Structure 1
Amino acid sequence: MKKYTIQPGENKLKASSMTTAALKANEVRIKVRAVSLNYRDILNLRYANEEVVPFSDGSGEVVEIGDEVKNLKVGDRVVGLFFPNWIDGSINQEIQQVARGGGTTDGMLAHETVGHEDSFIIFPDHLNYEEAATLPCAALTAWHAMFEHAQPLQKCQTVLLQGTGGVSIFALQLAAAHGISTIVTSSSNEKLEQARSLGATHTINYRETPDWEQEVHSLTGGKGVDMVLEVGGAGTLEKSMTAVKVGGVISLIGVLSGLDAKVNPLPIMGKSLRVFGIYVGSKAMQTNLHKALSAHNIHPIIDTTFTFESAVFAYDYQASGKHMGKVVIKVT
């Protein structure tokens, strides 16, 4: 059996042999079938200061259980939780310090993984392993951003989705299934055409329309959208504050446009905006997501699937930004 580790200081992956760890009474052994990449994995590769098995997101089959395991059995198909200890309720510092695939907590880019039974969850029957591997971070983040906080989206409202990466495409699919209008931005007309095929109500090419926040107002009759899923971060936040309606919501998710920018907080006060920081979600939220995926027969959009041996190329492709939806590695 093999695993990959990030080598601190070298900023590269290393493949090596792995040994089988003995199970504790409440642990399960998972044969990993597939994993998927997130922007976080690119950052971890660049800045990790501990040797760690990367990737928060992965799916697999339970192949062995400890003597006290109650909720899982051999043969169950599961995904690992992004936060292994966040079962329900609000996030706190202790939960946040243990995130799969970063810091000192090993992730899923290996032939097998072991963990507490509560840190895994059975995924919907209609999905295969590659599809399920995309759920723990991107899908749950989109679900949390739109439906789990104090001002969730309702039918016939409108949400602005930035780009066509994993979170935004999951949000598009979930919004379309729930009768929520969408405005999708991208620099690629080809990707925007694909977004329309997935149910996007309106699309904007932000290279052709650099003042896209004004176009958003035009498309909403001068009102603004009910919610923005902000994946750009500091570089696009002020435009998002302009694009959202008075009393609207900004779900702040990512930092794809960088960290080095100044943000004027006046629109937050002047428009009575609610800005929610979204950091993936809990097991209870993941359960709700899985129910929605099953109810609406939603299949994740996978752009490209790489082999386990070509993991380094999967990183390069994710970093290029050429993908639409998710990039997956088939492990076994």
Structure 2
Amino acid sequence: MRAWMLDDFGLENLNLHEIPTPQPAAGELLIKVSAVSLNYRDKALVDGIYMPEKISKGLIPVADSSGVVAAVGAGVTKYKVGDRVTSHFYSTWHDGPWLNEYADFQTGGPINGGLAEYQILGEDNVVPTPLDMSDLEASTLPIAALTPWFVLREYRKVKPGDTVLVQGTGGVSIFAIQLASALGARVIVTSSSDEKLVRARELGATDTINYRTTPDWAAAVLELTDGQGVDVVLDVVGGDGLKDSVRVAKGNGLVAVIGFLQGQSTTLDLMDVIWHQAQIQGIAVGHLRAFEDLVTFLGEHTINPVIDTVYPFEEAHAAYAQLARGAFGKIVIQVN
């Protein structure tokens, strides 16, 4: 089979190789990969800034994939050849609270990912692909959809009347808009593009703020909420911008720290944290049971993934380059 392998850190060292097709062991599935979707994590991993100490040379990257079962190992009972399945990010986190050891079993690094013609996944490390989604659409779900779902339903039971702030219009943010809107929340979205903000409203955003023309976007959020702030902030930016996320949190509000686009470290005004009684929650995707709940919810509410661009398998570098420039929704690579 052909597989993209990371021979060293740096996109220039992501190379296409021909290697033996793996065979499934007991409890495993051999997946003929249809499509993968890119997350910022995938770029950061290739760049060597995402847990580089755990990444080995020769890794097949990309966490999120969807495809068809091509063969099954001994003892497999949940799936059969021909079934359409979508990968789950954590091969050992099935339910319950987070344990630190789960970090060693992330698909797409440290464990081989889906940027190959075939992939090995455990039968407990996939969900059935939604019947009303193509494999290209389903490949966008494992991180970008499950992450905001885990915030909105596992860490905070968002309900009608709540207010949710979403930063940007990348993959996670677009799903956050769609999910929060379907849950009945008021959804405030920030972006530097008026055009993207118009499209965000079409997906369910109720209020929008252009942070380029309104640099003090936090003040604008407080004005929109009569000084009360929001129930949930989905912070994908990180860095020192986290201070403004705390600033706009309602009393006992949840600040979900999802991304680190502007840096992996920050300084906080602790008095803001104290007086807001803010809950600052790190988010590292979610477990398998929540993924199964998410798939059910998506079907009930007819939520379809938003795909910006689809690249052929041979143009993986171009897909990564587009991710670095930014996208409205997801970047997908069609494999088979």
Query: What TM-score, normalized to structure 1?
Result: 0.96
| SS of residue matched to 2:94 | coil
Distance in 1 between residues matched to 2:148 and 2:129, nearest whole Å? 17
Q: Is 1:241 equivalent to 2:242 in the alignment?
A: no
Distance in 2 between residues matched to 1:86 and 1:94, nearest whole Å? 9
Distance in 2 between residues matched to 1:17 and 1:189, nearest whole Å? 45
What is the letter of the counterpart of residue 2 of structure 2? K
CA contact (8 A) 1:234 1:263 kept: no
How far apart are 1:138 and its partner, in Å? 0.8
What is the letter of the counterpart of residue 7 of structure 2? Q
1:327 to 321, 326, 331: 331
1:215 to 204, 220, 225: 220
What residue in structure 2 maps to residue 6 of structure 1? 6
CA contact (8 A) 1:235 1:259 kept: no
CA contact (8 A) 1:3 1:110 kept: yes
The superposition leaves residues 72-102 of structure 1 with CA deviations (integer Å, 9 ceiling, x where unpaired) of 1111111111111111111212211111111
What is the letter of the counterpart of residue 84 of structure 2? R
RMSD, matched Cα: 1.2
Distance in 1 between residues matched to 2:10 and 2:301, nearest whole Å? 44
Q: Is 1:45 equivalent to 2:46 in the alignment?
A: yes
What is the letter of the counterpart of residue 15 of structure 2? K
Q: Is 1:108 equivalent to 2:114 in the alignment?
A: yes
What residue in structure 1 maps to residue 285 of structure 2? 280
How far apart are 1:129 and its partner, in Å? 0.4
Give the total of aligned pairs: 329
1:81 to 68, 73, 88: 88
How far apart are 1:57 and its partner, in Å? 0.4
How far apart are 1:43 and its partner, in Å? 0.7
CA contact (8 A) 1:80 1:120 kept: yes
Alignment of 1:66-215 (within 5 A): 66-103=73-110, 105-149=111-155, 151-215=156-220
The superposition leaves residues 204-239 of structure 1 with CA deviations (integer Å, 9 ceiling, x where unpaired) of 000100111011011112211111001111231111
What residue in structure 2 maps to residue 23 of structure 1? 24
How far apart are 1:260 and its partner, in Å? 4.6
1:169–1:285 Cα change, 3 Å = same
How far apart are 1:10 and its partner, in Å? 5.0
- Identify the range of structure 1 (289-298 vs 257-266) with the bigger mean alpha-carbon deviation: 257-266
How far apart are 1:9 and its partner, in Å? 4.4
How far apart are 1:179 and its partner, in Å? 1.1
Distance in 2 between residues matched to 1:275 and 1:160, nearest whole Å? 14
| SS of residue matched to 1:263 | coil
How far apart are 1:202 and its partner, in Å? 0.3
Q: Is 1:34 equivalent to 2:35 in the alignment?
A: yes
CA contact (8 A) 1:227 1:250 kept: yes
* Runs of at least 5 residues in structure 2 that lack an aligned partner in the other structure: none
What is the letter of the counterpart of residue 162 of structure 1? Q
- Identify the range of structure 1 (245-254 vs 16-25) with the bigger mean alpha-carbon deviation: 16-25
What is the letter of the counterpart of residue 18 of structure 2? S
How far apart are 1:154 and its partner, in Å? 1.2
Distance in 2 between residues matched to 1:78 and 1:23, nearest whole Å? 15
1:291 to 288, 293, 296: 296
Distance in 1 between residues matched to 2:194 and 2:283, nearest whole Å? 28
CA contact (8 A) 1:305 1:329 kept: yes
Distance in 2 between residues matched to 1:165 and 1:147, nearest whole Å? 20
How far apart are 1:20 and its partner, in Å? 2.0
| SS of residue matched to 2:114 | coil
CA contact (8 A) 1:231 1:254 kept: yes
Distance in 1 between residues matched to 2:306 and 2:240, nearest whole Å? 27
Identical positions, percent: 42
1:88–1:329 Cα change, 3 Å = same
What is the letter of the counterpart of residue 16 of structure 2? A
Distance in 2 between residues matched to 1:300 and 1:19, nearest whole Å? 33
Kindly report structure 1 stretches of 4+ aligned residues shifted beyond 4 Å. Answer: none
How far apart are 1:247 and its partner, in Å? 1.4
CA contact (8 A) 2:147 2:172 kept: yes
Distance in 2 between residues matched to 1:219 and 1:296, nearest whole Å? 28
Distance in 2 between residues matched to 1:71 and 1:38, nearest whole Å? 28
How far apart are 1:7 and its partner, in Å? 1.6
CA contact (8 A) 2:235 2:258 kept: yes
- Identify the range of structure 1 (260-269 vs 116-125) with the bigger mean alpha-carbon deviation: 260-269
| SS of residue matched to 1:64 | strand
| SS of residue matched to 1:118 | coil
